[in-house]
Amino acid sequence: MLIKLFQKISHAQALSIVLMILVAITSAHFLFTGSRVSNASTAIASKYLGVYYDLELTKRVYSIEWGALIPDEHREIEVYVQNEGAEPLCPSLATDNWTPADAPSYLRFSWSSDKTWIKPGEVTTVTQSLHVSSGIKKVLNFSFDILFQARNYLIMEDFVSLFAENPKAKMIYPSLNSPKPLNCSAAMVSDWTASAFIFTKLSNATEGLDIEANFVDPTTGKVHGDIGTGIVTFGGPIVNPVVKYAESVSTIESDQAPIRFHDQDGIYSFQQRNGSDIPGTSLPTTVINSNQDMFVIEIYRDTAGRYIMLCYGFGWKGTYAAGKYFDTLIYPDLNSHTESWIVVKWDDTNGDGFVNTSKDGDTYTVISKGN
């Protein structure tokens, strides 16, 4: 049949057909090989983290072999990560050194862990995922590093796992009555009102007062709770013994909060744990509870392994502003808040004498934040 066809066409036409067939075969081969991807990733573990292929922890991971991949394929590889240090760690993964440089445009790496924090000696399963874009072109193979990292401090991003979804969460209110532990003054109703902005996000919290011995030690002001308990409290050291204990220089350092309140002749300010002043946080008492205030929101882990969140302002308006700020500006965007503490100045910009959100006319200025 093919011979008869060539007998009916000219030599030039036959040559053109042959060339077209060759081009088609070459193109098909290019598209097939060009859309098939083989690669490997170098696994780099930070200090105190061990990464293994097996749950028995006998085969340490130095590289991840992804094998051959095709467009629109999604592949997952599980490894086991052990905390080989002496304190709880929060593991995380990142990537680096992509080759070629534009590979992340076609390849999406993600990961998940079955535990947010791992205790010393504990193991968590980490699932690594790689998705190949359906539009990938001309990438025959690639490589990138997977960085297994860990931190030993809390950040705002941890709020959901450590507080909101913690079955052992506690909300401790500063009592409106006195006497109180550490000679603290009676709190204001506004301290309780401010706490509602966070309490409504706690799925299973027990409520109590700072004068109840099963919540707070009446002598020291130290909180009670098992390891892993998440404790939230509002109000500063003047009215809240939990905060006063956490900020006292006589408290062991591992129980101290990252930030402390400071009063110098009627000028209020914030300092870091080591006593160094935080620039821009000073306010005279004449403006507090009027049209300006300063507040801190901080989270940390104490010696007993409890997770603690403190929120308060210099005055009651600052404490109330802290609740609104967390509710409207931090909580909706937790993933971007990698700080352990944040100090914010509130201004009654619209002059109505009330604490409003930024959308309703007041101004919130981040003065400082850190870990």
- Whether 233 is covered by a domain: the verdict is yes
Q: What is the mean pLDDT of each run of 10 residues along the chain (371 residues)?
A: 47 46 35 51 93 96 90 94 92 92 90 87 95 78 92 92 92 93 92 92 94 94 92 96 96 95 95 96 93 96 92 96 96 94 97 93 96 91
Q: Which of 86, 118, 151 is the last residue of a domain?
A: 151
Whole domain around residue 128: which residue ranges? 36-151
Helices (H), 273-351: 316-325
Q: Which two tokens stand for residue 228?
A: 């892993």
Does residue 214 share a domain with residue 335?
yes
Is residue 194 located within the same domain as residue 258?
Answer: yes
- Same domain, yes or no, for 54 and 200? no
Give the span between the Cα atoms of 323 and 333, in whole angstroms: 15
Helix, strand or coil for residue 180? Answer: coil
Residues in the chain: 371
Residues 167 and 198 occupy one common structural domain: yes
Q: What is the pLDDT of residue 348?
A: 95
Identify which of 217, 271, 280, 229 has the alpha carbon closest to the alpha carbon of residue 249. Answer: 271
3-state DSSP call for residue 121? coil
Question: pTM of the predicted model, to two decimals?
Answer: 0.75
On whether residue 256 sits in a domain, the answer given is: yes
CATH code at 73?
A: 2.60.40
Query: Cis peptide leading into 237, omega within 30 of 0?
Result: no
| Tokens encoding 150 | 């860990």
Q: In total, how many domains does the chain have?
A: 2
Written as six digits, the tokens of 69 are 């991949």
Give the burial class of 115: count Cβ atoms within 10 A of its Cβ; 0-12 exposed, 13-18 middle, 19 or more buried.
Answer: middle
> Is the Cβ–Cβ distance between 39 and 142 less than 8 Å?
yes
Strands 341-347 and 363-370, by their bridges, are antiparallel
Confidence (pLDDT) at 360: 94
Distance between CA 106 and CA 135 in Å, rounded?
A: 7
- pLDDT at position 20 is 44
